[in-house]
Structure 1
Amino acid sequence: MSLETADWRRRVFALYETVRAQEDPAQAHKVWQTGRDELLKTHAASPVEERATYDGPEIGAYRPELRFDVAIDTSVEPVRWEVPSATDGVIPFSRLGVVHLPEVGDLDVWWLESYGGGLFVPVKDALAGTRTYGGGRYLIDTVKGADLGGDFRAGRLVIDLNFAYNPSCAYSPRWTCPLAPKTNTVAVGLPVGELTPQL
């Protein structure tokens, strides 16, 4: 399973590299949707357990107004966030800053403090538990390749809510995932990105 997971991550890194190379964000979204769909349905390390009968995730229509190229506001108090894990012990994060998204709300930007480090931005919206995963979704997780770009040296991130995706624990209890904290919860509904199927 370790080599399968390594291959999954390699493919995710390659997918996001292709996404960042697209000039049109809507086209980049189509590339992402096709690539993620294939990985979830076919890859041996997919968190989807019943892949033979899985039709792929439902993805909301692209909304260009939900894409932001924003500065990270670092004028925040330092906060440590520790997430207990069934397999990896405690996963430590520290708050790097916050991004302000007009008409949406604020999201904390976290830095993974364990080996290798990485940026992490989850989001939980007003549709959580109905049309979106109850624990929130991920926007950026650079340690695993989910990176939409931005000028890091200038302290900027591309936050595109259309690329919100479910953590692995949304598919299987075998996985333990950091879920969006209160500071990454917004009061608006975000019917974009990866959705929860309507029953």
Structure 2
Amino acid sequence: MNETEQLWDWREKIANLYYQARFNENVTDAWRTWCDTRSKMFRDHPQSPIEAQDRKTYHGPTTFPYDASLRLAVELVPVTADHMTIATGSDGELSMRSFARTTGLDARLGGELTLYWIEGYGGGVFLPFADATSGSETYGGGRYLLDTIKGADLGVVRPDGKLVLDFNFSYFPSCAYSSRYVCPLAPSGNRLAGAVRAGERHPISA
């Protein structure tokens, strides 16, 4: 496969992985599959963000243990659109606008989060965040929970209309692994005062 076909294959595998996770009633089993599949892709796939010379010895992203208390149901309230443009290196500029903000996270995590709509053809939902672990236990620029353009779509709406956000599926942007990437980071308004010890983390030093 050429590079474009490789990226297509990567996106398809990620989209399928999240599709399976959304419809697996056993959430811890879905999370284990997510962890295992990402580890294999990071080791073996030509579009891995891990540098080619490091992949053979790479064991996969490190995560906190699954914490069911960090699978939370929130309501979304509309917000006045705040537009921002972010430089992303050779990919040009990324334009996005806020469209909703959570209610229901503050008591547990010390803040609420704004959801963004990435503008351009098709668009997509983007939810980056930082928290008290950022820069120590996790990547300093924050983590992603939703990035639907890239296939990372775990959005689950319950019958009562609330959105389920499972922070156990939060992950580092590609720029955390390689300087080849320039990624949009969590805006200042999406910093939680609490520590989200779920999802991807830095490896623990021996």
The match for 1:164 among 138, 154, 170 is 170
Q: Say yes or no: does 1:67 pair with 2:67.
A: no
- CA distance in 1 between counterparts of 2:98 and 2:162 reads 15
- CA distance in 2 between counterparts of 1:9 and 1:42 reads 15
Deviation at 1:45, TM superposition (A): 0.2
- CA distance in 2 between counterparts of 1:99 and 1:32 reads 25
Matched residues, number:
198
- CA distance in 2 between counterparts of 1:154 and 1:111 reads 23
Q: Say yes or no: does 1:142 pair with 2:145.
A: no
Match of 1:72, SS state, is: strand
Q: Say yes or no: does 1:197 pair with 2:197.
A: no
Deviation at 1:135, TM superposition (A): 0.3
Contact 1:69 1:150 in 2 (8 A): no
- CA distance in 2 between counterparts of 1:176 and 1:153 reads 38
Deviation at 1:40, TM superposition (A): 1.0
The match for 2:24 is 22
Deviation at 1:154, TM superposition (A): 8.4
The match for 2:84 is 81
Match of 1:121, SS state, is: strand
The match for 2:115 is 109
RMSD of equivalent CA atoms:
1.7
Q: What's the CA shift string for 1:66-114, capped at 9, x where partnerless?
A: 112322111x222112111111221000001111314112011000012
- CA distance in 2 between counterparts of 1:72 and 1:81 reads 20
Q: Say yes or no: does 1:127 pair with 2:133.
A: yes
The letter for the 2-side match of 1:175 is Y
Runs (4+) of structure 1 moved beyond 6 Å?
152-155
Deviation at 1:175, TM superposition (A): 0.6
- CA distance in 2 between counterparts of 1:54 and 1:72 reads 38
Contact 1:79 1:95 in 2 (8 A): yes
The letter for the 2-side match of 1:34 is D
- Going from structure 1 to structure 2, the CA distance change for 1:147 and 1:153 (only over 3 Å counts) comes to farther
Q: Structure 1 length normalisation: TM-score?
A: 0.94
The percentage of aligned residue pairs carrying the same residue is: 40
Question: Which consecutive residues of structure 1, in runs of 5 or more, have no partner in the other structure?
Answer: none
The match for 1:173 is 179
Q: Say yes or no: does 1:53 pair with 2:57.
A: yes
Q: What's the CA shift string for 1:38-64, capped at 9, x where partnerless?
A: 111111100011211111111111111
